[in-house]
Structure 1
């Protein structure tokens, strides 16, 4: 059974109490809360803090829904470059649409979407804005702030934040979030502070950033895992020197917050005309995650596994041209810092060894691909590619057989059904790939369940694969990767293509 290292119940209680205190201490002032990280389905936090509820943060807001409205920020450059959210494999612009749907599901009010650092002549960005506005979503364009970051007088003027349109807000808590780092959340918050104070309304700013966790050691694996997750942003964890000087207490923050704090402090003071209530970037935060760790050894091990996972994924992303070598090397340095290797991920060696074993025993298996999957009880199940199906599909079928207590030789899907689907693919749909992918195999399994009791029993075990780790000896197709993620399987791959063809869908 998976070990628990984090108390979700304690976290929700502690965190909601602290946010409400921050609102109440404002004497009725509106609070702009910059929400970093993932507000919903925070799978990174769930992986490094076993026991963490991936939707804990939105559940917090749901408890305060009468006081909350949400502003979603997206950096225009992330739209034009098709930046992708790793956990779901979808681009940031699509992630904004998905977030709106999720927030509505939790009965939270969506105020608007802000496209930050907007530039003229951006057809992809304008198309995205039109799509939102045509669906009734208020959308704002915020351009790069003139004078930022050094010329505070220009920043806090009609030429700076004043050039941005004001976002109409009515509730006491305005949550400003985005699909990922660098979305422009801080600039949006400060722009709103400028407009509100200019209108004679006193408001406040605070920051909710789960990682790095400020009250655990700088080199704790959980904090290092955060660096691995933001390697493309070049985030580096540091001791908050401002906090240490002000209070004599060590706190962990990261380079971007530390670098920008003196500027943010001066901007807030310029806007408000008062001395800032914050003496450090840690003061600005409302994160209480560190107080809910109940087993440090469990979270350390989970965080080490996340760093390995990030490195293996980065190797594939580099092979695909999605990231540069500097990003890959940054994660490799973090691996070396903790003396970790790819083989420390339990499913890597079994997959590679089985592939080598098949290749050594028969020339027919020279291009064989293998996937290994770890079950909840620690058992490793493998599946290999064949003329009938891809390795990932074979691993899924073998896993549900194991979970159902069935012998390996039992056919869950009739060979005749598999053959018919292959003929449809190649002869009717004109596909050059005859092996069935994961989605096709799952569809065939579902159909077979209507007449085959074994298939019906196996189908019922698919949900048990959620949370399982898997590793494949070749890069997965986009479609297979999407299906595995939908099943909740945490999958990685060796950075090798199964074919020399340049197009690999």
Structure 2
């Protein structure tokens, strides 16, 4: 895809803008929204965007910055899962700790927010503390966020411990939204002023982009991405009233701003910000070099989000309001499911196969749109699932290998199937993507043709894929790790509830 974004210009502008904020305070608490590492959404809607841009900005500032990670105790207790990685929030905290260390960034501590002695949370705290990671517990403050008198007092922020920090920039991040980042920043602000220090608060934002139009596809794609949070983009009326300038923000920030403004004024004794947009540090728009490319990429992302929402609704993870909201977004931009090029080839092939199958038999088909526009398909069979078949067909195509040539020895495939059926007592003998890739890597050692195909796996990054049935979590994660953007129709591959 043609680049529509200049990542280097963005990194330079964003770093400069952060440093300008820091100069106004002895210490700046910088709330980071979204992902610090691997921001795939930004990369998809802004072709050319560096998915690790945030962490690279932090690396440039590493001598001046340290990190606090927040996690809400309730998310630990109910085993909330990140959809992109398929891991729980407590595991995501551990992953973040490892990643930050690998980038040589200083992690100050982990903060458990809205802590109420939850059993699973206590186990997690023990796990961290026994690995010499500092943990702080912040309690729920009665009347939060409306009762400002109580919040900014010894009975409010005063009951929560102060987290000692040594750097001028303190980055506050979390495994997901609603983890208590803002409350942690304001809690620190309260204690800093009690200690006689001048501290400030700012928010590192990527989306929505405040200086793009309200209905720009990039901003609408943000709404689609946060459909479960019910985020809605709105004109920042506070910003317009103060500066006579149109700026875009979202409903939660606008609703909370009057309270946050009063809390900051009560702590600092002065009015620092006049609008939620003032709080943000966002230079994304300056990096857009081709608006047409960015708009088209954002529309494709909205279609992908539609399929994800429809599947999550089918799984019972989202309510009907979320699905209806996604339908409205699609209609607003006059988008159709078929505008995603890999959708109809998958459906057409599945319909053709269905004609020769039993009525009760479900046919799963995967279709890939390759970088040159070629459509490659794969179907489920007794040997392997459709994802595995499509992967093998795609790398054959990339390597220029004929369809008739086997990449994998039937002896190896049968041995793996026997292992699953007879020794591991699996009710599913069909091989999945992970098993096929392991078999391919083994065959590549002695088979030059398999080796040639194996070397093409890296070229699948950025390929678009669609499946006519809902994928299991393992296949979905493997495809994501390969860099394939995958969507599914909201139908289960069988009537089974567990063995799918």
User: TM-score by structure 1 length?
Assistant: 0.97
Contact 1:147–1:160 (CA under 8 A) maintained in structure 2: no
How far the C-alpha of 1:147 sits from its partner, in A, is 2.4
1:312-335 CA distance string (max 9 Å, x none): 111111111222222222222211
Ranges in structure 1 where 5+ consecutive residues have no aligned partner? none
Distance in 2, Cα, partners of 1:504 & 1:425: 14
Task: Supply the distance in 2 between the matched residues of 1:339 and 1:3 (Cα, whole angstroms).
Answer: 23
Paired with 1:109 and 1:270, the residues of 2 have a C-alpha distance of: 31
Taking the TM superposition and a 5 Å limit, the aligned residue runs for 1:59-78 are: 59-78=56-75
| Aligned mate of 1:253, from 227, 249, 252 | 249
* Matched residue SS, 1:463: helix
> Which secondary structure does the structure 2 equivalent of 1:207 belong to?
strand
Aligned-pair CA distance for 1:444 = 0.7
Corresponding residue number in structure 2 for 1:41 = 38
Which one of 100, 107, 127 corresponds to residue 110 of structure 1?
A: 107
Aligned to 1:79: 76
Query: What are the equivalent positions in structure 2 for 1:113-262 lying under 5 Å apart?
Result: 113-120=110-117, 122-262=118-258
Q: Distance in 2 between matches of 1:410 and 1:365?
A: 32
In the other structure, the counterpart of 2:281 is: 286
Is the 1:74–1:115 Cα contact (8 Å) retained in structure 2? yes
Aligned to 1:20: 19
Contact 2:265–2:272 (CA<8 Å) still a contact in 1? Answer: no
In 1, Cα distance between equivalents of 2:250 and 2:499: 38
Shift of 1:414: 1.3
How much has 1:363 moved relative to structure 2? 4.2
C-alpha distance in 1 between matches for 2:76 and 2:341:
36
After TM superposition, give the deviation of residue 364 of structure 1 in Å: 9.2
Distance 2:360 2:348 in 1: 13
2:427–2:499 CA contact under 8 A, matched in 1: no
Measure how far apart 1:219 and its partner are.
0.7
Q: Distance in 1 between matches of 2:446 and 2:190?
A: 66
In 2, Cα distance between the equivalents of 1:296 and 1:89? 33
Q: Which moved more, 1:329-338 or 1:419-428?
A: 329-338
For residues 9-28 of structure 1, give each alpha carbon's deviation from its aligned partner in whole angstroms, at most 9, with x where no partner exists.
110111111111111233xx
CA distance in 2, matches of 1:311, 1:334: 9
- C-alpha distance in 2 between matches for 1:374 and 1:135: 46
Query: Match of 1:449, SS?
Result: helix
Are the aligned partners of 2:364 and 2:386 in contact in 1 as well (CA < 8 Å)? yes
1:480-499 equivalences in 2 (<5 Å): 480-499=475-494
Of residues 432, 439, 442 in structure 2, which corresponds to 1:437?
432
Instruction: Work out which of the residue numbers 65, 80, 92 in structure 1 matches 2:89.
Output: 92
How far apart are 1:365 and its partner, in Å?
9.8
The one of 357, 363, 367 aligned to 2:352: 357
Q: Measure the CA separation in 2 of the matches of 1:392 and 1:300.
A: 30
Rounded to whole Å, the distance in 1 between the matches of 2:173 and 2:323 is 27
The separation in 2 between residues aligned to 1:70 and 1:51, in whole angstroms, is 27
Is contact 2:367–2:390 with CA below 8 Å preserved after alignment?
A: yes
